[in-house]
Structures are given as C-alpha cells and as structure tokens.
Structure 1
Amino acid sequence: MQPANNIEDIHIGIGEYKVARSPGRLVTLGLGSCVGVSLWDPLSKIGGLLHVMLPNSRDFTKINKKEKYADLGIPLIVKDMVRQGADRNRLQAKLVGGAQMFTGVDKKQLFNIGERNVEVSRKVLKELSIHIVSEDVGGNKGRTMYLNLATGEVLIKTLGKNLKVI
C-alpha cells in the first residue's frame, strides 16, 4: 500500500515498537496471532505502535527483548511516549490482530496465543488506566495495521476483506 499523500511510512517489525510525531504513519505487517497496540495522544499528535508477539514474559526464564511481550512492552512504549511529550492521561489505545491462525488445530495445543495476546494487552492497558477506544481482534486472517499520526485513525488491511478504519 502506498503512503497517503506522500506521508512517510515508518515500519515496525515483529516484537518491536516505534514512537513518532505527526506527520507520518506507523505500519506493522503480519499481525496473525500477534497484536498491534496503537497509542495516540490527540493533542501532541504523538503516536506509538507496538507489535506484541507473546502475552507474558513470566512464561520465559530469559528475556532479551522486552517489547516482544504485552506485559513488558506496553508500559515501555507508554514511558517512551511520555518522555517524547505525550500526556499519559490523553492516550487512546486501539488493538488489532490476535487471530487463531491454525484452523482445525486444537486451540489448547497452541495455548491460544492470539486470544492470550489480546487478553493480556487489555489487562495491561486497564492497569495503566488507558482507554481502548476501538479494536479489530480475533478471527483467523492476518492483518496489516497503519496508524495515521495526524488523526489517530487506524487503517486495517485484512486478507480477503475490504479496508477498514477504526
């Protein structure tokens, strides 16, 4: 997808996050069981996008990349956004992804990673008193997510579906 009106697209990889100020768009590809957590401050026009890969760091003994995990990555991106001038009390969150990518496979066998990523992301945001204004989660299709830093709108491209704005 081409950037809208020559606005720069800033790409976020799996288990990464970026924070930026308008103009521009934050983009993450390949949201299957992973969850994209967008945060946006409407006054400062500072936004952040985190590509959550796993729900809980507690499930692992060695943590080499905090932003891979919902429980560590969300507080990390919030802290970074505030450091760059966003107001924590104005942050609006949107969640995208958390799909069950392996249909026909026993969900328990795969530990419901998509569902757990969504659940833990919601829990952490609630603990931080950050309101989730919209979500597009679940299902069994991969998604690409674009956060417009000027408007806070999130454009979602889902395989086999029309574009959706939340």
Structure 2
Amino acid sequence: MSGSPTIASLFAQRVVIGVGDMAVSNNASTVLSTYALGSCIGVIAYDPGAKCGGILHLMLPEASVSPQKAITQPAMFADTGLPLFFKALIGLKAERGRLKLFIAGGASVIAGQDPFKIGERNIRATMDFINTHALRVVQSDTGGSFNRTVHLELSTGDVRLVTPNGKSQLALG
C-alpha cells in the first residue's frame, strides 16, 4: 500500500547532533540529524562499503579561542573536531578512500556586516582540512544568509537538506 510505513521505518532511531557535537554509527536503522546550521558547519560523511557514517556540527574554526572548552567539547572547533570525527569513522571500519562527504552551513546569519566572518572562516578551516587529507566532497551547500538542517539515513547514505527555500536529496551511498 502506497504511503504505508516500512518495518524498518517503524523501528528507526533518530540521533540529533547538537551544536559543537558529533555522532557516528554503523546501525542501518539510524537517522542522524542536525538542525539550524547557520554559521556553523555540518560535515556529513558516509562510507558505502562499511555502511557507516556520521555528522559533525562544528561551531568555530580554531580551538585557540577557548582551549579549556576544546578539552571538554573538541567537536565544537574545526581544528580539534575534524580529526576526532574522522578517527571515530575509521574506528567503525570506514576507509578514507571510500568516504563521501557533504558540507553544509557557513552562512552569514548576522544582519548587516559580520565583522567576525565566522561562517566564512568555518568554511575555510573545514575545506583546508579536507584538502590537506585528500578527502572527497561530493557536494556542498555553504555560504549565503540562511540556515540549513541535514538528515543522514545510514541504511542508504541518503542525505536530505532542508532550507527555508525547500528540501533537496543527495545520495552518498
């Protein structure tokens, strides 16, 4: 019957990743979600071979602005969160060469001029790390002045992006 839920969807578990946090999983019945990526960056990674993935919701480019916070919440910063995120994925048997990435966020959400340019700096720090480590970005949706919400279905590697302008879907699997 069209529109009927599948057995898998009835038992799906949603894990919400907050600001400055991350989650990785190889549980096919899990959907990872992060909401309201403004100037923050969402790094969504999926390895179709290992059927595992994760989301990192980083807030700031450098941990040097708050070394104490970087100790207790390293995922908050690009320079401490990105290495931690990819190490966790490798712990689930992901292989760097198979990983497919989607990058979202980095908006300028402050009305008028943003003297700190956090969104731009977050994009730069994230892309510098990705390029240095020869990781593959399949697609990105960054910049602008609007927030983004992202969902990753671990059973398929499908990513759903929700913006004020609508929804779009991308397959990382």
Q: Work out whether the TM-score is over 0.5.
A: yes
Deviation at 1:5, TM superposition (A): 3.1
Cα distance in 2 for partners of 1:90, 1:59 equals 33
Q: Does 1:165 align with 2:169?
A: yes
Q: Does 1:15 align with 2:23?
A: no
TM-score, normalised via structure 1 length = 0.89
Number of aligned residues: 159
Cα distance in 1 for partners of 2:157, 2:127 equals 19
Superposed, which structure 2 residues align to 1:101-112 within 5 Å? 101-104=109-112, 106-107=113-114, 109=115, 111-112=116-117
Identity %: 35
Deviation at 1:118, TM superposition (A): 1.1
Q: Does 1:34 align with 2:40?
A: yes
Structure 2 partner of 1:74: 82
Q: Does 1:152 align with 2:167?
A: no
Q: Does 1:47 align with 2:61?
A: no
CA RMSD of the aligned region, Å? 1.5
> Radius of gyration: which is bigger?
2
Deviation at 1:89, TM superposition (A): 2.0
Change (3 A) 1:43 1:56: same
Cα distance in 2 for partners of 1:118, 1:131 equals 15
TM-score, normalised via structure 2 length = 0.86
Where 1:43 maps in the other structure, the secondary structure is coil
Residue from 51, 56, 65 that aligns with 1:59 = 65
Cα distance in 1 for partners of 2:128, 2:20 equals 19
Letter in 2 for 1:163: K
Cα distance in 1 for partners of 2:143, 2:9 equals 31
